[in-house]
Chain A
Amino acid sequence: MITAKTALRRQNKAQRIERVGKLARGKFVSPDKVPEILRRIIEPGDILCLEGDNQKQADFLANQLATLENKDLRDIHLVMSCITLPAHIELFKKGMIKQVDFCYAGPQGGAVADLVKAKKFPVGAIHTYNELYARYYIDLTPRVALIAAAQADRKGNLFLAANTEETPAIVEPTAFSDGIVFAQVNEIVDKLPRIDIPADQVDLVVQAPYPMHLQALFTRDPAAITDVQVLMAMVALRGIYEKYEVQSLNHGVGFNTAAIELLLPTYGERLGLKGKICKYWMVNPLPTLIPAIESGWVESVFAVGGEVGMERYTAARSDVFFTGRDGSFHSNRAMGQLAGHYAIDMFIGASLQIDINGNSSTVSKNRITGFGGAPNMGCQPTGRRHPTKAWLKAGAEANPGPGSPPGRKLVVQMVETFQAGRVPTFVEELDATDPSIRKALHGVTPVMIYGDDVTHVVTEEGIANLAACRSIAERQAAIRAVAGYTPVGLKRKKRETEDLRARGIVQLPEDVGVRPSEASRSLLATQDIKGLVRWSNGLYDPPSQFVDW
């Protein structure tokens, strides 16, 4: 029955907007009024969403929020993808936050670990991106969302430009539940190139005095790729891409996969793999993918976010990238993660630590980072039903039982056995199992990719096919076999390794037809950023920190 009570939430929103009063002209507010407006529209106990992932940040609104004090703002349930700005940490230090639910803490990982130790970080859970977006529609629906857009028009329609990212995933649940959507924009214009968020889902708009923060996260300088990474890339190409005919895929942000991208037009071409592999990508517009695109390898690329400097190139290659009618690049984090979950043959990425069961983590006692999106893609989607060659082949190898899906996504961890500073990548037990971390996370160990989901581990020593292992003991032996000369690797037994190699579960570079003497940087399609600019016909504009000419 519809009563006055059912309209309470809508009334409450109206009251909040009313409190803003003359501080706004229609939807538009001036930057200096923002702290006071935030004080008036946010109530104690609110679920407050701050937009910000690992690339794009509503940093002006976050900075204004952090100027408030505990008396202005308290008992806030903060929900946000990425805790990346000093302003975010400030909210905790000031004691405004009663609970936080998030995904990733990248550059603030050290500060988060300190807050945990000081018991000032009341965390609900660390999520993966789509998991958190999903909860925005269930039990974490924001009352107020502070978001970022490139442009607004006079009605409050928003243009999100290349970095659409997670804005729609925040705005929809907020706007359709009588929440308040407050957008910072870089500029206000008469006519937008395209409308990404309609004005009737936007309550307040401020033109920020500085443009929103964008992080160039996926730019890898080919000059920093090593011979060892070239070797691993060759091994992965032959032992996995070629073997399974991987057509659709996601690459992580590391140099290992950048090496693969740069080998496609050279080594890959020589192997006759063009048109057979790497046609459909769910990945951000990686500058290191330019040579492969220009050589005709790539059919399409859908992205969770943009990449600084790739705007003109992606507009020119709208036959490959998803773009608006105006030609400008389009991304969508939630849909991209969904695509990476269900619709790709392979996820391949790196990690800081892998244990003997194949679990990986980027969390240590002194740095609590979290997950981001990798686990959405680096997992077995048991809701998948459509077959592809790679999926069926990997599935058959895993010898599925009568109650299992016939196929498997390839989930590949590609790591060097040691990190910088001779720190072993392979460990008996993850740092993430530390009791204080587990306690802060209500008993959950923050595992990035679970060993059960991993099909292959690639190191400079070779490939371990975990999916083909028939027991936990065998999986551990396979991991030790490729763990090199780390303490985990030194514990391997010669006979076990030989048995696994004879069965093709462990493969050395020469077992997959790779000649180590060829593993050299000279095999890359280009050796530096300047070369990427050349490949793009001058359309790639690298961020200044990557320009040395």
Chain B
Amino acid sequence: MEKFAKAFPSKPLPSKTAKPWALAGVVGSGNLEVLVERGGRPTDTMQCHVETSIPGYKASWLAALADFAHHYPAGGTKVTINDQGAPPVLVNLRLRQAYDHLTKGDK
């Protein structure tokens, strides 16, 4: 088990989003859950909390989150990740899915 938190600079979220929060994935073996909520402060950072069952990959997590914050306007979001040993390739997809649900809705 490893836990860490970090905030990343990011352009502010669009003023209107489809939902106040969105979830992607599930907490289960080989999967992960990403919760994205609006209402974080300040509005030009993306605040992240990661809890992962597999220690030793902090640098990769931080790099992936930094890229995400750079590519998408996600300032003013709180991102909570609960990882149960998901393959690394799944992390970005779940992040994108949660963000997509938040900004554009489930459909």
Contact = CB atoms under 8 A, between A and B. Distances in A.
Contacts of B29: none
Interface string B7-50: 00000000000000000100000000000000000000000000
B77 to A, nearest CB: 16
Given A485-B63, A490-B60, A228 B90 contact: yes
Contacts of B63: 485, 490
Given A485-B64, A517-B24, A517-B96, A418 B101 contact: no
Given A227-B90, A484-B92, A485-B64, A494 B97 contact: no
Interface in A508-549: 508-509, 515-517, 519
Contacts of A119: none
Contacts of B93: 227-228, 231, 460, 516, 519
Interface in B89-107: 89-93, 96-97, 100-101, 104, 106
A417 B101 CA distance: 25
B87 interface: yes
Nearest to A229: B89
A461 interface: yes
A418 B87 contact: yes
Nearest to A510: B96
B84 to A, nearest CB: 14
A166 to B, nearest CB: 36
B100 A484 contact: no
Nearest to A226: B90
Contact of A417 (B70, B88, B100): B88
Contacts, number: 52
A416 interface: yes
A422 interface: yes
Contact of B89 (A416, A508, A509): A416
Contacts of A485: 60, 63-64, 88, 91
Interface in A472-491: 484-485, 490
A226 B90 CA distance: 9
Contact of A460 (B60, B92, B97): B92
Contacts of B88: 417-418, 422, 484-485
Contact of A494 (B60, B70, B92, B101): B70
Given A485-B60, A490-B60, A517 B89 contact: no
A418 B60 CA distance: 12
Interface residues on B, range: 20 to 34
Contacts of A460: 89, 92-93
Interface residues on A, range: 20 to 34
Interface in A79-96: none
Interface string A450-467: 000000000111000000
Nearest to A230: B93
A515 B106 CA distance: 11
Given A422-B87, A460-B89, A484-B89, A517 B60 contact: no
Interface in B51-107: 59-60, 63-64, 70-71, 87-93, 96-97, 100-101, 104, 106
Nearest to A417: B89
B97 A519 contact: yes
Contacts of A418: 87-89
A226 B93 CA distance: 11
Contacts of A494: 70
A416 B92 CA distance: 12
Interface string A220-247: 0000001110010000000000000000
Contacts of B96: 509, 516-517
Interface in A364-396: none
A461 B89 CA distance: 8
Nearest to A487: B60
A493 B99 CA distance: 24
A228 B71 contact: no
Interface centre among B63, B64, B71, B97 (most CB of A within 10 A): B97
Nearest to B106: A517
A516 B87 contact: no
Contacts of B70: 494
B33 to A, nearest CB: 14
A35 to B, nearest CB: 49
Given A485-B63, A490-B60, A494-B70, A516 B100 contact: yes
Given A418-B87, A418-B88, A485-B88, A517 B97 contact: yes
A-B CB proximity, top 10 nearest: A516-B96, A517-B100, A485-B60, A517-B97, A416-B89, A460-B89, A418-B88, A228-B89, A516-B97, A485-B64
Interface of A: 226-228, 231, 416-418, 420, 422, 459-461, 484-485, 490, 494, 508-509, 515-517, 519
Interface of B: 24, 59-60, 63-64, 70-71, 87-93, 96-97, 100-101, 104, 106
25 contacts: A227-B90, A228-B87, A228-B93, A231-B93, A416-B87, A416-B89, A417-B89, A418-B87, A418-B88, A418-B89, A422-B88, A459-B89, A460-B92, A461-B92, A484-B89, A484-B92, A485-B60, A508-B71, A509-B96, A516-B100, A517-B24, A517-B100, A517-B101, A517-B104, A519-B93
Given A460-B89, A509-B96, 4 more contacts: A461-B92, A490-B60, A516-B93, A516-B100
